[in-house]
Every structure is written in C-alpha cells, then in structure tokens.
Structure 1
Amino acid sequence: MTAPTDVDLYAGGTATLLAAWEEYARGTSGAAVHRLGGVAAAVFPHGPERGVYNNAVLDRDLLPAERAAALDAMEEVYAVAGIGRFAAWVHEDDRAMRADLERRGYGLDETTRAMGMSLDDLRTPRPSLDLAAADWTEYLRVIEVPTDLLAGADHAAFHVVVVRHDGGNAAAAMAYDHGEDCGIYNVGTLGHARRRGLGTALTTALLHDARDRGRHTASLQATSMAERLYAAIGFRDLGRILEFVPP
C-alpha cells in the first residue's frame, strides 16, 4: 500500500471529523451538518452541543468568487438557525480565505494543530492500562464536559476508553472510524493524574485498537500543549487550523 502524503492525511482527517459531527447530529435535536459549496457547516442549535459543535470547515484554495459564496452560505445557515456564535475553520496556508474573513470582521479565536499518521508507522508498543468500564457518562465526567452532552447519540458508534489510576477513573478518550481513518478525540486527564503519561498511553492504545480494526491512518487536532506528545508517538504536523469567529 502506498504511504499516505501529508495532503492525504489532512483530507482523510477532515473527512473523519465531518463524519463524526454528522454522527453527533443524528442524535441531537435540530442538528445537521450542511455540506455547501466550499464549506461544511455543523449546526447544533440546542442543548449543551450548541456551545461546542457549531463549527464550519472551509475548503482550501478556492477561487475568489467561490470563497465569497462559501462565506455567504456559512453565514446564512447559522443565521437561519439563530446561531450568532460559531467558528470558521481555515488552514493556516490559506491566506486568501483568512484575508476574506478578516475583511468581514472575523477575529482569530483559537488554533489547533492538524496531525495525522500512517498506522504502519506505529512503533510504540501497546501499553498495559488499567481499563474501566467504557460508560458514556463516566467518559464525559472524566474529560470534564457536561454529562448530558450528546445524550441522544448512538454511543455504540464510538470507541470510548476510560483508564484508572490510583484507584479511580483518571483519563479518557474517544475514537471514531471513517473509511480507512480513525479519528482520536477528546483525550483528557483529570488534574491530579496529569504528567504521568496517561494521555500518551491512552492515545497509543487507541491507535493499536484502530489498527486491529483494519484502519490504516489516524488523525486528530492537537492543542499546543499536546503537540509534542502526539509527535513522539508518530503523528505528523499537517499545519495549524485557525478558528475565526464573527464580530
């Protein structure tokens, strides 16, 4: 099998992310992912999901008219849903789209690092972990988000892992398969258990599980604090994702 390029990994990771949002939306009232010309906009108008998943991924390297049409379509779909706060995701290399957003008054809010890897390159041995029952509510508690988040979603569609440390549940993460790719999301460790390598071990275990399920690549979006952790496992830097918010 031909080794994936960085372009392949970025495209695969984006496709997996959008598929995961669509899975979330299927179990959330009024939610949908709208695939419009040049943009895919996740619209979550209700519940705790409203504060988390209203994000739009803009295509790269569009022509000027296509960029304008994509931004117009994005703004319209959120306006119709009554959502004033959302994030437009742009790859850092897309300077033209960044400039168009800034001309419309959007400001940079957050950044993450797109990362991906071929699972053929996974060299870190499978760690030995003290695993707890993969209970959805406990998973949400450990990653410190509202415990009714995605309450109506099909939780069996996701691969959730919760790890114990010093007698209690201390770290958790989720994986989602789409095609040949596995997306790793929401890797979190409670404060008292940080700096003990649980995040690295948990991510590595999910990668081994994904390879066992027949996946060939893995993808994630890393915070600046976690970039080195993922790079040490074998993830490649695919560029920053810039999150712009409307004025």
Structure 2
Amino acid sequence: MSMEKKHATPIFKKAVKRPMILFEIVVGLALLSMLLSLLFSFFTSSAKMQDKLKKAEAALEERQHLSSRLQTILTSVIPSSDPYLPAPLYTQQFPEEKNISLVVYFDHGIDPDPAFSGPSLARIYINPKHELCLAIWPREREKGKTSVRHEVLLRHVESFAFQFATKKADQSIGWENKRPAKAKQTIPSLVRLDIWENEQKKPSLQFAFALSSTEPSIVYSAHEGVKKKI
C-alpha cells in the first residue's frame, strides 16, 4: 500500500510558463507606439486649438477696446465757440508720416490726474511700428511741461482712413476724407473708420460712429432708406 502511494502519478501538474517570442514583443511595441502617437497628436491639436482661441480672443478684445475708446472720444467732442481756435475735429498731415492724423478736441471727463480732466486734445495716428495709436494731452498746457499719454489701440495696421458725413451742394449727403482746421466748422453726425491690416484693396475692419450733431441731419425711412437733409 505504501509503495503504491509512493509511485502514484500526481493528478495536477505545475504549469510551465512559455517564453514570449520576438514576434509578440514587436507587435506589442507597435501597438503601444500607435497608442502613444494618437495620444500625442490629440494633445498637440488640442494645444494648437487653445492657442488659436487665445489669439482670436485677444484680437476681439483689442478691436472692442478700439471701438469703445473711439466712441467715447468722438461722442464727447466739444464745439468750438472761439473764432481764433481750430475746429474741434479735423485731419492733419504731420511730417514723416504716411497717413493723415485725426485731431479731436473733446471732454475727457474726470481723470485721476487733474491735468487730464476736462477739455483735452486727442490725436489718432499710426506710429513707425504699424500700430494705430491714441495720444492725449491737456488742452491747457503749462510752460515747459508736455505731458502726453500714448495708448496703442490696434497692432499690425498698414493704413487707415476716416470719412465724415457732409452736405453737398445739392443738399444731399456725401462723404469727405479730409477736414481742414477751419474755425466754426460744424461737427459731422457720422464718422466712418476703415482700417487696412495689410496691402489689399478692401479694408480689413470697418467702424461707424454716431456723433451728437445735427449737421447734416439724417432721416431714416422704412421704405425710402436715407432721405435728404431736412
């Protein structure tokens, strides 16, 4: 009996591990590399999309700031009652500048710096870095002090042009590109701004500003469109 137990064959045998062959290792590495490649491309495209969204958001905020800033200045134009002073809104060509600048005499309101509160002068121009800039300085400047505030409104600007609503000889409404600094000149009721960000025929951006003026007055009709001045 003891001899039978000693030489009995075991029912369960210990499993022997089969070594992995080279082909299986290569296939596993290939699948892993494909998975890593897909994950890398996903994260790369996601990062690029976020970068594009940030640039678009920054450009939109910059354009909104430009529109809001110019709207505040143009709607605060102060009519000139002194016949010896220039018009409150006129264009001027400065030396060594390709584009014409717009000069505005406006009410700057209340400012933390008392020197910049109330009536001020603003100049809209393009600097050598192709940036649309705004310069503001007090109308009443002290001798020896020329404090000026410079602000960049829009970058990468090739050129710009203002257009002003005016009354023609036949009493119709037209547009003019230049306004001389004549005394007692009326304030236009509409001002358009065209901006070219590169050398192309059509402007890249267009803005319109309604000023608190009645010259020329414009009447809108649902059927006839824009009528002539009353």
TM class by shorter chain equals under 0.3
Q: Highest Rg: 1 or 2?
A: 2
With normalisation by structure 1, the TM-score equals: 0.22
Q: Which has the higher helix share?
A: 1
